[in-house]
Structure 1
Amino acid sequence: MKLLRCPRSAAAFALVVMAIAVMSLPSAVPARAEQTGMRAADPSVIRVGGTYVSVQSAGGGIAVRQAPSTAALAAAPARQVWSDTRDLGEVWAPEIVRDGGRYHIYFSAGRGAAHRMYVISSADPDSGYGTETKLRLPDDKWAIDGTLFTFEGQRWFVWSGWEGDTDVEQNLYIARMSSPTTPAGARYVISQPREGWERVVGDPFVNEGPEAVKDPNGQLHLTYSANGSWSDRYCLADLRLRAGGDPTYVWDWYKSNGCLFGSERSTMMPGWDPTLHVDGPGHHSFVLLDGDIAASPPAGPAFPLMFHAVPKGTPYAWENRYWYTGTFCWWGDTTYSRTGVPGAETDTGWSLKFFE
C-alpha cells in the first residue's frame, strides 16, 4: 500500500481521508473524530493484536474495556479490575502498559497533597490484578499522570508532579526504572510551564498527561497537556528530544512554540489551527500496538488517537468531558526555537498534527 504523507491543510486532509477510505484502511482509523458515549476523562488505550484495550477511573476504582475498534469501546462492558478498598482517595488517570508479556496499570491516588503513583499488574488485561503497590518515586512528592515506556533499551517513567510540598506549578519529571515497578536513581525535571502560551490559565500552571511516542527518525517525543484542565484553554504540546540527546537533561528537550491541538487560536503554534468541533482537547492516548513506542507509526497517513474534550456549545466543566476518537500524523521539517538557555537555540525535526 502506498503511504500518504501528512496533509498540509485541512482541505488536503479531507482529500487524504477520502483516499484512505478508498484504500479500505482498518475501521479503527476513523475519518474524523467521533464523540464516544463515554463521559469521562484521561483515556488510555492500547492495541493488542486486533483488540483495543482501554482503562479508566470508574466506580471508586479502575475499569477495563476491550473492543474491536476505538469507536466500539464505549459500548463494550467495563470490567472492574481494582477497587480502592484501602480508601486511598481520589483515583486519577490510570495508564495501561504492556511490558514483558504482562499488563501494568499506573494510577494516582490520594487526597490533596497526598497524591502518589501506584501500580497493579496482571497477565490478563481485564482480570487477575492484585493489590496495588506504591511506586517509590525519587523524592516522594505529589505525583499524577505517570506512565512507563522503553527507549533505547532503557525503561523510563514520566509523570507530572510538584517540586516541593506545595501546589506552585506542575512540572514534568522523568526517572529510570529497573523494572516495570521499581524506580532507579533520581528524578529529573524536563519541562516546566514557563511559556506564555502555557500560562494562559493557572493557579497552578500545569504541564501534565505526558505520552511518549517515537518519530520516523527514531527521536523521542513526550506530548503533554498544558493550561488548566478546568479551562477550555487546555491543549496539547510537544517536547522533542534532540537526536542523540540525554532524556534526563532538560536542555536536550525542545518544546513546541505553542499548542499543537487546542481550541484557542492565540495559543496555537504558528501553522497549526484551532479545533472546530470541541473545546479544550487534552490528555490524549496514542493507540500503539502493545502500547510500545517501538511500534510508533511511520510517516504517512493518519493513525488512531483518543483524547478527552468538551463539545463546542457545551459549558466547559470536568463533568462535560467525553472521550473522542481522532487521528494524528507526523509533520516534518518543523523548527522549535528558544532563547537564553544552554544549547542550540533551534532544533528542526518531526512534529505532530492532530485531527478532530
Structure 2
Amino acid sequence: MKLRRFAVSIVLFAAAAISAAPAAEAGQTSLRAADPSVLRVGSVYVGVQSVGDGIVVRQAASPDGLASAPAREIWSAEGSDVWAPEIVVDGGRFYVYFAAGAGNLRRMYVISSVSADRGYTTNPIQLALPDGKWAIDGTLFTFNGQRWFVWSGWAGDTNGEQNLYIARMSTPTTPTGPRYIISQPRESWERVVGDPYVNEAPEVIKDPNGQLHVVYSANGSWSDQYCLADLRLRAGGDPAFVWDWYKSNGCLFGSNRATMMAGWDPTLHANGPGHHSFVLLNGDIATSPPAGPTFPLVYHAVPKGTPYSWTNRYWYTGTFCWWGSTTYSRANVPSANTNTGWGLKFFE
C-alpha cells in the first residue's frame, strides 16, 4: 500500500529526489524518485514526478536524459501529499492525473494544459469515480473509440486489499456509469508480501493483434518482491467484464525467481522493479509498438546491494518487446481456462 510509502517526511523525500545516485547499473539513472510517467511528444520525452506536495515536469531528448533535465513545477498545494502523477494527451491537451488527500480520503484529481510543462489549471478537478472509494494510480486511455479510466482502489472503506478497477469516461474529466473490477491480488505469487495485498500502478498498451493489456505492479512496494504482471483482454472481449481478462501466471519483470512466470528470468541489477511507464508517442495506445524490436521503458527500482526502502528507489530506463504464443491459464472460472496470445518481455 502506498500510504506507508509516504510515511517519510515531505522534506526528506524532496531532498532525496535531487540527490545523486551511486555508480549506475544497467539503466539506473541519477534520479532518486518513484512512479515514473513518461511519454514522447515528437522528438521530446516528457516525464512527470511528484515531489512532496507538488508535481514537476521534465523534458529531454531521451528517456535517460530526463534524470538531469530541469524540473519545472506545474502544480502544488500545501499539505496535498501528491502520489504518482500520470500524464496523458487527449484531443491535443495534456492531462495529469494524481492522487491526493489524507488517509482513507485519498482520491483521484486531474489538471490540464495545452502545453506539456506550463499553464496547467490551478484548481484540480476531483474525478467522481463510481462508488467514491479510496483511489490511486489512475490513468486515461481510449480503446475502440471509448475512453476508459483504470485505477487501483478499495472495494470498501478499509485497506484490506487493493484491486484494479475500470470505468468508462465521457470526457477526460467525467466518469460515466459504474466501476468494474478487473483484477484482485489473489494468486500466490502476488501475495508474497501483503498487509495489504496489492494490485496497483496499471499501465495500458495494445498488442500487435490489437488486444488490450493492463500491466500492473503486484506485491508490496515496500519490498523487493514488487514486480510487474500482465492482464490480457481476450480478442473481442469487453474491458468491463472481469472474465474476459487473463492474468499472467507469475511476474513478467521482477527480481525473485520464485515468483516469475515460467520462461521469464529475474533481474540482475534492479531490485523490486515496478510502477513502470510504456514510453508511447503522445502516450496513446494506438501508437503501441509492433512485434519485433524493443521499445523504451521507464520504471522504478532499488539497486541490488542497497537496502530496500522507498527512499532508495531510482528511475530506471530499460526496454520491452512483445513475446508471442504466450499462454495464460486459470481455473474455477465460468469461461475458458486458457488464452494464448502476445505477452511481454522486459529488459534492464
Query: Given the two structures, how large is their TM-score scaled by the length of structure 2?
Result: 0.92
Q: CA deviation at 1:58?
A: 1.3
In structure 2, the partner of 1:108 is: 99
The 5 A counterparts of 1:29-48 are 33-48=26-41
Q: Distance in 2 between matches of 1:274 and 1:59?
A: 32
From 261, 265, 275, the equivalent of 2:267 is 275
In structure 1, the partner of 2:17 is: none
Partner-residue secondary structure (3-state), 1:35: coil
Identity level (%): 75
Q: Which residue identity lines up with residue 218 of structure 1 in the other structure?
A: G
Q: CA deviation at 1:112?
A: 1.2
Q: Which residue identity lines up with residue 195 of structure 1 in the other structure?
A: E
1:350 aligns with 2:335: no
In structure 1, the partner of 2:164 is: 172
Q: Which stretches in structure 2 are left out of the alignment for 5+ residues?
A: 1-24
The 5 A counterparts of 1:1-356 are 33-85=26-78, 87=79, 89-130=80-121, 131-356=123-348
Q: Distance in 2 between matches of 1:150 and 1:144?
A: 19
Q: CA deviation at 1:33?
A: 4.0
Q: Distance in 1 between matches of 2:170 and 2:161?
A: 28
Q: CA deviation at 1:301?
A: 1.2
Q: CA deviation at 1:94?
A: 0.1
Partner-residue secondary structure (3-state), 1:254: strand
Q: For the Cα contact (< 8 Å) 2:297–2:317, is it kept in 1?
A: yes
Q: Deviations over 1:17-61 (max 9, x none)?
A: xxxxxxxxxxxxxxx941111100000000000000000001420
Q: CA deviation at 1:273?
A: 0.3
> Which segment is superposed worse, 229-238 or 57-66?
57-66
Partner-residue secondary structure (3-state), 1:90: coil
Q: Distance in 2 between matches of 1:59 and 1:76?
A: 19
Q: Which stretches in structure 1 are left out of the alignment for 5+ residues?
A: 1-31
Q: CA deviation at 1:111?
A: 1.4
Q: For the Cα contact (< 8 Å) 1:109–1:118, is it kept in 2?
A: yes
RMSD: 0.8
Q: CA deviation at 1:103?
A: 0.1
Q: Distance in 2 between matches of 1:171 and 1:101?
A: 31
Q: CA deviation at 1:300?
A: 1.0
In structure 1, the partner of 2:8 is: none
Q: CA deviation at 1:274?
A: 0.4
The number of residue pairs the alignment matches comes to 323
Q: Distance in 2 between matches of 1:280 and 1:90?
A: 24
Q: Distance in 1 between matches of 2:130 and 2:26?
A: 38
Q: Distance in 2 between matches of 1:33 and 1:325?
A: 8
Q: CA deviation at 1:110?
A: 1.1
Partner-residue secondary structure (3-state), 1:124: coil
Q: Which residue identity lines up with residue 310 of structure 2 in the other structure?
A: W
Q: Distance in 2 between matches of 1:245 and 1:100?
A: 26
Q: Which residue identity lines up with residue 228 of structure 1 in the other structure?
A: G
Q: For the Cα contact (< 8 Å) 2:133–2:156, is it kept in 1?
A: yes
Q: Distance in 2 between matches of 1:235 and 1:216?
A: 24
Q: For the Cα contact (< 8 Å) 1:33–1:355, is it kept in 2?
A: no
Q: Distance in 2 between matches of 1:141 and 1:54?
A: 28
Q: Distance in 1 between matches of 2:116 and 2:155?
A: 34
Query: Given the two structures, how large is their TM-score scaled by the length of structure 1?
Result: 0.90
Superposition misfits of 4+ residues, deviation over 4 angstroms: none
Q: Distance in 2 between matches of 1:230 and 1:90?
A: 18
Q: For the Cα contact (< 8 Å) 2:26–2:269, is it kept in 1?
A: no
Q: CA deviation at 1:202?
A: 0.2
